[in-house]
A and B are shown apart, each in its own frame.
Chain A
Amino acid sequence: MEFISLDYYDVLFALFLILIPIGISFKVRLGIEKEILIGTVRTFIQLMIIGYILKYIFDLKTWYFILLMVLIMAVVAGYNAVKRQKRKIPGLFSIVTISIFLGSGIAMITLIALILKVEPWYKPQYLIPVSGMMLASAMNGAALAIDRLMGETKNRRWEIEAALALGASPFKSINPLLREAARAAMMPTINAMMIVGIVQLPGMMSGQIIGGVEPVQSVRYQIVIMYMLTTSVTISCISVLFLFYRKLFTKDEQLDLDVL
């Protein structure tokens, strides 16, 4: 394996180039100089911090610290998914975090233990990037699923109430909307499988190639990752919808209009 390493002077040079978008924004009055600047600084700080954390963890080689890191990532993912919701719904955070953990967990165990057969299983070089990818997709899926279910419920409130009024259970009455939400939340990941490699090369694959990995080898990695991402999204969507829909109903099996 061979790759070209970067030092801080290289980073500094790239930083100079950021002056171009700032200059353009100023010149044609886009008014987003401040955002570009903040983004530039945040990129630097956030990635530097995560770089050092990763370095620290890679050196640790104790399984519980590495697992703790994955747990923290899951909780942050759960928090991020909930943060997007305008309404505060009690218990939503744990529902989302559990679902994200379930979806990404199953995909991760399959990948690490059954496909890659990493030894030892907690080897951070594999576990951390893989869990990052799986958690992010599970997080997006869960957030999208909840968004969509809330929106559909608002729009199709009468269908739900009509079913309830005929004596249907809450689950039965909201079932078509749950399916709709699951489909909508899974679609981006499925579409990604459709176009992968045609429009763009996935980041992980590009990274491996730059790192000196032979293209066919890195493609195999990417294929496996894509399948696991789809699994992760599907499980977390279904789980979050199944746990969440109850929150839209009162204990008397009424649609809770205050939650919407």
Chain B
Amino acid sequence: MKITIQNVWKTKSIEADNGKLRELKLLSDINIEFCGSCIQAILGPSGSGKTTLLRLINKLDSPDKGHILIDDVPINSIPPRQLRKDIGMVFQVPALFRGTIFNNLSFGPILYKKEFNTEQAKRLLKIVGLNDIDLSRDIDSLSVGQQQRISFARSLANEPRVLLLDEPTSALDPSAANNLLDLIKKINKEMGVSIILVSHIMEHAQRIADFICLLVEGRIVENGTASSFFKQPQTGIAQKFIRGEL
């Protein structure tokens, strides 16, 4: 699925200490096209608006101005539930439902009245690298890293065509993070799921992304293929980011 973002602005009014409302610019004039079948990384320091941008694509928020098109269809003319079935999102926090692992994994299939048995659940767990875990485990008994993987598997159970991943490796140690990244690559290649990966860690994008854009203070400052991003960054800000000075 091709995702086009045109002239998108997003502000938020927040209450300042003196009680007055202040307009905070979260995203300013975002223009970008995400290719239909690749891995696109959105890099940027914390607070640069990455999560905000991702939420717009899944329609959990709406832009103040501008257009978002999915395969050239304006997002506003797609019913939210249909859109969200096709475009899955994995949050920065695990956001699991209370109950067991199986309760969580079966949520989507039950919603769409698809058959879902323990075999399928185990297969999903295997994909996310949780091989010997009991499906009836309560999610409260899991580590945050495990929860994050369950949350990833839960989105996969929906068989989405696009996956929006918001820092999916943030609670994992480096080797587990690399495993998950390789797995994301595999899902992209073997299942044809387009990936939009948000991260503030450059190496993650370097490892798997085909395209990279750099978001700083709500603006896209650099956008192109992964190799050109690292070999010949166009802007001073991108060079700084690559040197780890941002």
Chain A interface residues toward B at CB < 8 A: 158-159, 161-169, 172, 176, 250, 252-255
Contact = CB atoms under 8 A, between A and B. Distances in A.
A167 B84 contact: yes
B155 A166 contact: yes
B112 to A, nearest CB: 7
B147 to A, nearest CB: 11
Interface of B: 58-62, 80-82, 84-85, 88-89, 91, 93, 95-98, 107-108, 111-112, 151, 154-155, 158
B81 A253 contact: yes
A172 B110 CA distance: 12
A185 B88 CA distance: 35
A167 B95 contact: no
B97 A163 contact: yes
30 contacts: A158-B93, A159-B95, A159-B96, A159-B97, A159-B98, A161-B60, A161-B95, A162-B154, A164-B84, A165-B60, A165-B84, A165-B88, A166-B84, A166-B85, A166-B111, A166-B154, A166-B155, A166-B158, A167-B82, A167-B111, A167-B112, A167-B158, A168-B81, A176-B97, A250-B62, A252-B62, A253-B81, A254-B59, A254-B62, A255-B60
B11 to A, nearest CB: 13
A252 B81 CA distance: 9
B151 A162 contact: yes
A254 to B, nearest CB: 6
Contacts of B154: 162, 166
Nearest to B82: A167
Nearest to B80: A253
Contacts of B108: 166-167
Nearest to B83: A167
B97 A254 contact: no
Given A159-B97, A252-B59, A168 B111 contact: yes
A33 B61 CA distance: 52
Contacts of A158: 91, 93, 95
A32 B150 CA distance: 55
Top 9 A-B pairs, shortest CB-CB distance = A158-B95, A162-B95, A167-B85, A253-B80, A165-B89, A167-B84, A167-B81, A166-B108, A158-B93
